[in-house]
Amino acid sequence: MIQTVKCISPIDGSIYLERPVAPPDAAIAAAKNGRAAQKHWAARPLEERIALVQAGVAEIGKTTERMAIELAHQMGRPVRYGGEFGGLEERATYMAGIAETALAPIVIEDSDAFLRKIEREPHGLVLAVAPWNYPYMTAINTVAPALIAGNTVLLKHAAQTLQVGERMAEAFHTVGVPVEVFQNIVLDHDTTSALISGRHVDFVNFTGSVRGGQALERAAAGTFIPVSTELGGKDPGYVREDAELDAAVETLIDGAMFNSGQCCCGIERIYVHGSLFNEFVEKAVALVRGYKLGNPLDPETTLGPMAHVRFARTVRDHIEDAVAKGATAHIERCAQDDGEAYLTPQILTNVTHDMDVMREESFGPVVGIMPVRDDEEAIALMNDCQFGLTASIWTQDTDAANEIGRRLETGTVFMNRCDYLDPALCWTGCKDTGRGAGLSVLGFHALTRPKSYHLKKA
């Protein structure tokens, strides 16, 4: 019996698409083909690889309306937001622009006596395991720099967004990237682990759950295959006494609720200086009450369903746990809340760090808001978490933001913004967020290995 993976649409619970899972022998064959093609791909001039990647991105850009509709069906994001091409293009374009410099040899000495230098070599075959929440943008973070650097890519996309991997491969193949150089493949967990433990791939990039990251690291144990992980977060925002309040409310609440809260770097907890707390909460509640929960295919909808019923169940559990322990829920249940994928967005106060909603990743449209006395209390609470992806500080004092940022256990510090991935900066984290280096110059360094040359001349 052929094993398949089904994408259940959050719109109505129907099967949107179904694909057969590659059996182990087919997966190993695909990896073998990718490795065989890699040397030829890496031998092509850098500018040629860059041009092909840019052409592939442009090809994806021809179908943005289709992208938005397909994403609505697969993971519930409203069509009014237009898909993900803007972010995808920004990231790929930046990486293409810095490639020549980032991959250039570091020449230590070039004299009559010696040539001493460090070059960057591609790892070989990169296995990219991409998530469903921002399926194009997270995939391109690895796909574009990996191909530009001379690697071949095996892309395994999440079951919820199977179509995205197909569309990306289709676009890149259309513009001339060889099929063996960029392959999309449907895998189950066991076969994915077997590809790693059997050393059929040379580098792994995984974005997803802590449990998934642990499974891949276990598969790689003893193989010395590099595993780069980004495993989500419980990202905090801190509103200092001198913050511009309206901007803080608008941006932080959007950071908590956009994409139905399904963002790795979304805001999941907010700490507000006591002097601003009541006004912040009042404005935040008014803002969320203005959202329209509904069918993501309706252009009037501002908040779609969560991608899967089980994800919504986790959020409901966190809310119920918090309320049972004394939290106050401020948003009345929406008429469209069906107890399944369609979930009322929620703001909670009277929350403490004894509640799951303030410590565990909710990954949904809920945020807890706590008053704090000063920077010291805010820093302690922001660090009181097993995740460390981003943190957002709202203040007019850049020096204070710098000082607070140095004390935060996080991968990125924002001031007066949040929920954004700057391709010029390293996308990284600490603690249970995992370890890795995406985008920026360091992204190219992660996707290549250094090779040193010490050449003594005659």
Residue 21 lies in a domain: yes
Query: 157 and 39: one domain?
Result: yes
CA distance 247 to 100: 39
CA end-to-end distance (rounded Å), the chain: 66
Of 70, 180, 230, 268, the catalytic one is: 230
Per DSSP, helices labelled H in 412-455 are 440-446
Query: 105 and 79: one domain?
Result: yes
Structural domain including 290 reads 235-423
Would you call 100 a catalytic residue per the annotation? no
Query: 206 and 104: one domain?
Result: yes
Query: 165 and 294: one domain?
Result: no
pLDDT for 138-181, tens place per residue?
Answer: 999 999 999 999 999 999 999 999 999 999 999 999 999 999 99
Phi, psi of 448 (to 5 degrees): -135, 170
CATH code, 275: 3.40.309.10
> Of 322, 253, 244, which is closest to residue 276 (Cα–Cα)?
244
Query: 220 and 250: one domain?
Result: no
CATH code, 177: 3.40.605.10
Query: 350 and 269: one domain?
Result: yes
Query: 398 and 356: one domain?
Result: yes
Query: 442 and 408: one domain?
Result: no
Residue 224 lies in a domain: yes
Of 263, 264, 385, 418, the catalytic one is: 264
Q: What is the pTM of this model?
A: 0.97
Query: 71 and 195: one domain?
Result: yes
Residue 428 lies in a domain: no
pLDDT 10s digit of each residue in the chain, 458 long? 679 999 999 999 999 999 999 999 999 999 999 999 999 999 999 999 999 999 999 999 999 999 999 999 999 999 999 999 999 999 999 999 999 999 999 999 999 999 999 999 999 999 999 999 999 999 999 999 999 999 999 999 999 999 999 999 999 999 999 999 999 999 999 999 999 999 999 999 999 999 999 999 999 999 999 999 999 899 999 999 999 999 999 999 999 999 999 999 999 999 999 999 999 999 999 999 999 999 999 999 999 999 999 999 999 999 999 999 999 999 999 999 999 999 999 999 999 999 999 999 999 999 999 999 999 999 999 999 999 999 999 999 999 999 999 999 999 999 999 999 999 999 999 999 999 999 999 999 999 999 999 999 98
Query: 211 and 265: one domain?
Result: no
Query: 272 and 183: one domain?
Result: no
Number of domains in the chain: 2
CB distance 20 to 186 below 8 Å:
yes
Query: 201 and 70: one domain?
Result: yes
pLDDT for 351-386, tens place per residue?
Answer: 999 999 999 999 999 999 999 999 999 999 999 999
Would you call 264 a catalytic residue per the annotation? yes
